[in-house]
Structure 1
Amino acid sequence: MGDKQIIAAHSRAAVRARYAFIALVALSFLFAQSLYITALADKKKKPNYGHIKLSVKTVDPNGYEVLIDGNGAGRTTVSERLLKLDEGSHKVEIVFPNGERWIREFVVSGGRIYCIGLAYSERAIPIPAALPCPYPVNVSAPATANDGEVITFAADVAYKGQSALNYTWTVSPAGARIISGAGTPTIMVDTTGIGRQAVTAILVVDDGSGERTCRQVAQALTNITVNIPEPPKSRIYDQFEPPAFDDVKARLDNLAIELQNAPATQGHIIVYSGRRSRVGQADRLAARAKEYLTKDRGIDSSRLMVINGGYRESDYFELWLVPQGAEPPQATPTMQPSDAQPGSDNLRPRRSRRR
């Protein structure tokens, strides 16, 4: 019995050992299978980067600078270059010699290749000639002028074209009249009879091309004023102390000439008595002067006015020319009649020198 029990125990142990080996072999197989499957999965997994395949055809053997996201990435080549880029958005720039840039944004996916093929050749870009139109036009004129004066309106035209310009002027109001310069850059306008108005000159300039911008318009304005002439004024022609009547006659001769040259003018003679002159001296001297002018010089008495001016320190003459419409002169005595002191040596009249 004891031996049978021992044999049975050994048999059970052997069976357990065989099952353990089988389990170990199975686990090893499963691990190996797992590694194989993982390796296959790794082979099939998509990479996390892509490529840009770049080539630029050009006559420059040195190629052109390439920038990826603003960073230098070498230069272009005629043959294809393969640039590796991480997944995501990238900006590709190619800098050409004239400052131009070729710029594109790419969203790179893993495992994809983006091809760029460019052909570049330098070319001259023609610059069109500057057009002469529009061009500035300015018209100048005086700010004010008097009625009857001639106004000059002058145009300053900065035209750089080759065509001859046409100048067309119009002036207003209707009374204004162009007297010279029509069809030229400068005109002269007569303002006679305009009165208190403004004269406006409008200039149209065109080069005959028919282009709207080659037709320019400018204008200037001058205000017209009416000068009211000052009324005529009396003016003193001569003044003196009479030493003798012969000297007075010489001065009266000059007054007669002025009156003959101005038929509408009157002569006023103001005579003053001196402090110690005889009573009535001014009246006598004035009457004698008028008599000389009318009888000896032929002046109409209606054109002569004699005035007793009162008293001054000595006998005194004022000869005045009074235009038509002028205020007559006023006497300007320097003392009151009560201050006069007729002297005994002046009681006898003076004898005039014989002519």
Structure 2
Amino acid sequence: MNRKTFVVAMRPNSKLIKVAVTVLIAMTFALVSTSGTAYAAKKKKVKYGQIEISTNPGGFPLKIDGQAQGDTSQTVRVIELEPGHHNLEILLPGGGRWVRDFDIERGRKVCVNLNYHPKKFTVTTSPCPYPVNISAPVSVNDGDLITFTSDVAYSGSKPLNYTWTVSPAGARIVSGTGTATITVDSTGLGSQRVSATLVVDDGSGDAMCRQNAQASTTVVGRIPPPVECKSFDQFLSVAFDDDKARFDNLAITLQNSPDTTAYIIIYAGRSSRTGQADMLGRRSMDYLTTARGVDGQRIVIINGGYRDADFIEIWICPPGAKPPQPTPTVQPGDVQPARERTRPRKPRRPRSE
């Protein structure tokens, strides 16, 4: 009976086979639908992303979005975070901080591994600041060159830059620009102080490596040359015609120099007649004023005393000059004046033809 039934069931046209196939298809569809629904449900439950953190060495305080999250470790720590922007901060020794921002996506993982190596600092001694001194003379005369020399105690290896400025405005650097020593022309700066300012730097940009110094020198004003009379002429007075030629030259000079004054010093000879110097003086003045038209206010006649023979000195003096002084060579006690004529000379006899 059972065998027969089985044989019947295996017939191709059997209704039983059709029912079985139909049931099998339905069960398969149900299983597939159930599996897909379960997978979708499982996938829908993922709401967070993850961040994996490890450090070498471990033990550093960890903060996420400003909230403490314990310490890091050498093994990976997994922390779930809501999707979005997050801030990660790891506190390092000595006040150091390692800070990064991350964007966390749902169902994705961000991996962070930090290897910490302490910085090794080499302590170097800076050559800055350094002393700068300037040497200069205390004073110079107007027109002298002033030398300003700098002494810079810089122990660094960089080349130094020298920038000089001088004052007042009339001071001029004539040599040494850009070097440790300069020379400055003081012409026209009498009765003033010339100052030189130096700025030294090594080009590093460090304010401590930029030093400056200053020095000053007094410029003594030029003393104007003294106003003095000049010797114009000197001669023995033998014949008046010779004297007049000398006075002609004097008159021309006075005309060409209208601000000068002529001093005429007249010496009587050892054996000249009494009053000889005064007589020669009157004669000289009369010739210059009458014959040559010289203003008498510009002529000064001086009785110079005595010399061995009648002698005349002529001096030209500019305004403000100290008048010349007589230089007699014979003392009055040594003078032996010639005797005055007591009788008139006899007229000469006319020659007979």
Query: What TM-score do you get using the length of structure 2 for normalisation?
Result: 0.47
